[in-house]
């Protein structure tokens, strides 16, 4: 990673990160969460070209179920990102590391509304404390969701109330670490009898992988 992206780079202060994100990312989408033409920025199929041909098409994107996640950027002197660890008993993605979020509901005005609602439900973060700074292009998952990641600055040490049915804990990772592509690994796993390749980011005994790692890698490429 170049010197300009070292951990003490001024690019990783809250004000610099806010300015950079707003300068390079498209405006936050408005209108019903499922009512826009999705644009794929990244997908579960990026490392699986044999699967991508039929799954990353305009028709596949339109058929995908809309969802949104919040990427909570904690406004510490060096920005960190907040993650959730899903509980082990969930029927889907149990025990995995994720951003708070979920599928869009009819009452949601836009992807931002979805991300804020789901984040409040999962970890009790007050939507009024989130300063939206931009959104990434849709991330298409192998399970048929088109996820819009919304980036929002959050004051440090805000009170959180976790939904213990869904979230076992939260933790933070420094943004400079996540924006260094040398920290990304490529792994292989057999899923439903098919060999699948994916990105992963080991950090402090934790293993960030799958869609979350793919979204982070796309974020790095788009912003830095």
Q: How far is CA 199 from CA 49, 57, 130, 194, in A?
A: 14, 21, 28, 16
pLDDT tens for each residue of 28-69: 766 655 555 567 788 888 888 776 655 666 677 778 899 999
Tally of domains in the chain? 1
Confidence of residue 213 (pLDDT cuts 50, 70, 90): very high
pLDDT at position 81? 98
Query: Alpha carbon of 160 to those of 111, 137, 188: distances in Å?
Result: 22, 28, 35
Q: pLDDT exceeding 90 applies to what percent of the chain?
A: 65
- Identify the CATH number of the domain in which residue 115 sits: 3.90.79.10
The residue behind tokens 């199929």 is: 45
Helices marked H in 56-173: 58-63, 111-123
Q: Label residue 4 by pLDDT band (50, 70, 90).
A: very low
- 9 vs 223: CA distance, rounded Å: 14
Q: Given this model, what pLDDT does residue 26 score?
A: 83
pLDDT digits (tens, 9 = 90+) for 120-164: 999 999 999 999 999 999 999 888 899 999 999 999 999 999 999
The pLDDT of 187-208, averaged and rounded, is 90
Residue 181 and residue 201: Cα distance in Å, rounded?
Answer: 10
d(CA 75, CA 156): 6
Comparing 44 with 215, which gets the higher pLDDT?
215
Strands (DSSP E) contained in the chain are 40-43, 65-74, 80-86, 97-98, 101-103, 131-135, 138-140, 145-154, 167-174, 185-191, 194-203, 206-209
Range of the structural domain that residue 68 is part of: 3-223
Backbone angles phi, psi at 100, to 5 degrees: -65, 140
Q: How many Å apart are CA 98 and CA 154, to the nearest integer? A: 17
Alpha-carbon 59 to chain mean position: 23
C-alpha–C-alpha distance, residues 213 and 127, integer Å: 24
Q: Which residues contact 137 (CB under 8 A, 6 or more apart)?
A: 39, 40, 41, 42, 218, 222
Range with the poorest average pLDDT among 75-79, 108-112, 114-118: 108-112
Of the chain, the percentage scoring pLDDT greater than 70 comes to 84
pLDDT (tens digit per residue) in 78-92? 999 999 998 976 555
Model confidence, pTM: 0.90
Residue of 86, 89, 110 whose CA lies nearest to 100: 86
DSSP state of 6: S
User: Considering only CA atoms, which of 14, 11, 22, 25 is closest in space to residue 148?
Assistant: 25
How does DSSP classify residue 5?
Answer: G
Q: If you compute the radius of gyration of the chain from its CA atoms, what whole number of angstroms results?
A: 17
């Amino acid at each position: 990673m170049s010197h300009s992206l070292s951990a003490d780079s001024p690019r990783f202060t809250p004000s610099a990160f806010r300015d950079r994100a707003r300068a390079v990312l498209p405006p936050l989408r408005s209108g019903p969460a499922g009512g826009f033409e999705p644009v794929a920025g990244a997908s579960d199929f990026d490392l699986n070209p044999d699967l991508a041909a039929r799954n990353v098409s305009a028709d596949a994107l339109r058929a995908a179920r809309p969802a949104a996640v919040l990427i909570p950027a904690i406004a510490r002197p060096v920005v960190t990102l907040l993650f959730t660890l899903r509980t082990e008993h969930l029927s889907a993605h149990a025990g995995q590391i994720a951003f708070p979020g979920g599928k869009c509901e009819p009452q949601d005005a836009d992807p931002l509304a979805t991300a804020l609602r789901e984040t409040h439900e999962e970890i009790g973060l007050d939507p009024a404390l989130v300063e939206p700074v931009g959104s990434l292009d849709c991330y298409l998952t192998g399970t048929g969701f088109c996820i819009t990641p919304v980036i929002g600055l959050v004051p440090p040490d805000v009170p959180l109330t976790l939904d213990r049915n869904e979230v076992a804990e939260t933790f933070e990772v420094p943004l400079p670490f996540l924006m260094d592509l040398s920290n990304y690994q490529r792994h292989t796993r057999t899923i439903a009898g098919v060999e699948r390749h994916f990105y992963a980011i080991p950090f402090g005994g934790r293993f960030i992988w799958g869609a979350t790692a793919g979204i982070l890698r796309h974020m790095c490429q788009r912003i830095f």
